[in-house]
Amino acid sequence: MTDMDLWNAITRPAKLALRPAELAKTMLQPALIAKTLAGAGLVDLRRPDQSVRMFDILRRWGPVAGAPFVGALRTPDRDAVLDERGAITFRGLNDETNAIARAWRERGIGEGDVVGILCRNHRWMLEAAFASAKVGATGVYMNTMFAAPQLIDVCRREGVKVLVFDEEFAAIASVAPAEHRFVAWSEPSTVLVTLEQLAASTDRAAVPPPVARGRLVLLSSGTSGTPKGAPRSKPRGVLTASAILSKVPLRVHESTMIASPLFHALGWLQATLAFALGTTMVLRRTFDPEATLALLDANRCSALVVVPVMLQRILDLGDETIEKYDTTSLRVILVSGSNLSSELGTLVMDRFGDVVYNLYGSTEVAWATIATPDDLRAAPGCAGKSPLGTTVRLYDEHDVVIHEAGSIGRIFVANGMSFEGYTGGGTKRVLDGLMATGDVGHFDDTGRLFVDGRDDEMIVSGGENVFPAEIEELLVQHDAVADAAVIGVDDAVFGQRLKAFIVPKVGVVLSEDDIKSYVRRNLASYKVPRDITFLNELPRNATGKVLKRSLV
């Protein structure tokens, strides 16, 4: 069988909506898609009937609403989720999602409505998201670190009609504008209506597919203010899966611990991919480094999905604690959400093996590049190369493509999954069909991407352009520095000057001169911070990004 025969066997029977024009636009090669999906076991040509049914489900329902149907079709009796309440199978989760969707339809909740979801990592977060899609509503995934004003602002801007929340957030949920409220994770004593009660209140037959599919709205990181809504009306499940699987060796019927928040793009991406692969998701409501190791050991997980700060907290446990747990089953540590420093990436691989995959992207463009373990060994700190169906280019200040290795430019991406413009108005710059990430970077002579910093974080000091990321990367390599951030502050002489915030390692005493001398030995003199402030910790959001607006 040729590659094209394989592609036709996968797509033609299901009449998958991938027209030649779409394939050309996204630069996808059908044979490579087919081989990637088959190599991961996502498509089994020994069961062509199942492949036909799976792709037909995705065609009729879309990848979000269709995900639980696919999981129930492929591995109905396998555990879909293991959380603090126990296990639930793919069939059980799909049935409960059907029941919640039916109960919502009976209450007049459906196409065109907006469901806000304020939940930690557990089964009911997934069920709320899938039920929203099944009734044609738009799901807005809220940050669990929201205070009441942020939640109110987002609910108003997005037009939230239904708010689903964990009971621990009941106080702020009670003041948010919403017509209907349901509790996801709850204690037995709750007096509020729960999703579990909804699922038990009606039958579990699927509702009819919505005429118009709802949107999926992820929120930006909010590092510079109230998070913006980044909607996608037509997520492309097959294209997404082939891109990720072309770089990351995830396989069917394994177990993955998703520690990254499910409301974050990385966590949600892995959750939906798990239903296609028949992967058991191991979830815990809040992150704890030692509990994570214990769950990896107990469930023989082959993959761990994290943000960088979680890896640092695991390493901080020390060798004696880490060695109490068997993590040899790990083949993949997929990390994203904020910068993975060269030092941290190397330390993690030295401790757990060459299993780290660093995904670079943004809420707006989805993914851009993925660094494999080979990339991270050869070029520590890099963001890697673009996966299947993805184009990454650098542009200078005159919107001209940069081809020279080492030259810094603005990063633009095309992959067929870019967002559709912020729900409150505005969008990202687009050039030649590629969308800006808001970052600047450079390629090395092998084509690996390095992210040098945020385009809007460039500091002009005394006429010299400085990107904080370069200095931060150097600072965290200091033996006595646990964490660091650099910002620009106003200066009457230089326009701006550099200010560094340093978190020393426990038990270490550092001085300003120690830091300045270290930077001066390694970087140009104009990159030496003039102001140094020592902190116990840096303010970070749930995905590990430093909230620089909080640094003064």
What is the 3-state secondary structure of 429-450? CEECCEEEEEEEEEECCCCCEE
Half-sphere exposure of residue 335: CA atoms within 13 angstroms, side-chain side: 30
How many Å apart are CA 226 and CA 154, to the nearest integer?
8
Q: How far is CA 411 from CA 24, 32, 394, 457, 521, in A?
A: 22, 25, 5, 14, 30
Helix (H) or strand (E) holding 99: helix 90-106
**Whole-number pLDDT of residue 16:** 38
How many Å apart are CA 176 and CA 278, to the nearest integer?
36
How many Å apart are CA 282 and CA 313, to the nearest integer?
19
Half-sphere exposure of residue 194: CA atoms within 13 angstroms, side-chain side: 16
For the chain, which domains are there? 93-232 (3.40.50.980), 287-454 (3.40.50.12780), 458-550 (3.30.300.30)
Contacts of 263 (CB under 8 A, 6+ apart): 117, 119, 125, 141, 142, 143, 144, 218, 219, 542
Per-residue pLDDT tens listing for the chain (552 residues): 344 444 454 444 333 333 344 444 444 467 787 788 888 887 766 666 777 788 788 888 888 999 999 999 999 999 999 999 999 999 999 999 999 999 999 999 999 999 999 999 999 999 999 999 999 999 999 999 898 998 999 999 999 999 999 999 999 999 999 999 999 998 766 678 899 999 999 999 999 999 988 889 998 866 555 678 888 766 555 778 889 999 999 999 999 999 999 999 899 999 999 998 999 999 999 999 999 999 999 999 999 999 998 999 999 999 999 999 999 999 999 999 888 989 999 999 999 999 999 999 988 898 999 999 999 999 999 999 999 989 999 999 899 999 999 999 999 999 888 888 888 888 899 999 999 999 999 999 999 999 988 887 778 787 777 888 889 989 999 999 999 999 998 887 778 899 999 999 988 989 999 999 999 999 888 899 999 999 999 998 877 788 888 887
**Whole-number pLDDT of residue 236:** 59
Q: How far is CA 212 from CA 68, 111, 128, 155, 251, in A?
A: 19, 7, 18, 22, 32
Q: Give the residue among 220, 212, 213, 215 at the shortest CA–CA distance from 232.
A: 215
Beta strands 138-141; 216-219: pairing state? parallel
DSSP label of 302: S
How many Å apart are CA 303 and CA 295, to the nearest integer?
12
Give phi and psi for 258, each to the nearest 5.
Answer: -100, 100
Tell me which amino acid residue 366 is.
A
For 376-494, list the strands marked E by DSSP: 391-395, 409-414, 430-431, 434-443, 449-454, 459-461, 464-466, 481-491
SS3 for 234? coil
Q: Give the residue among 323, 314, 83, 67 at the shortest CA–CA distance from 184.
A: 83
**Whole-number pLDDT of residue 8:** 53
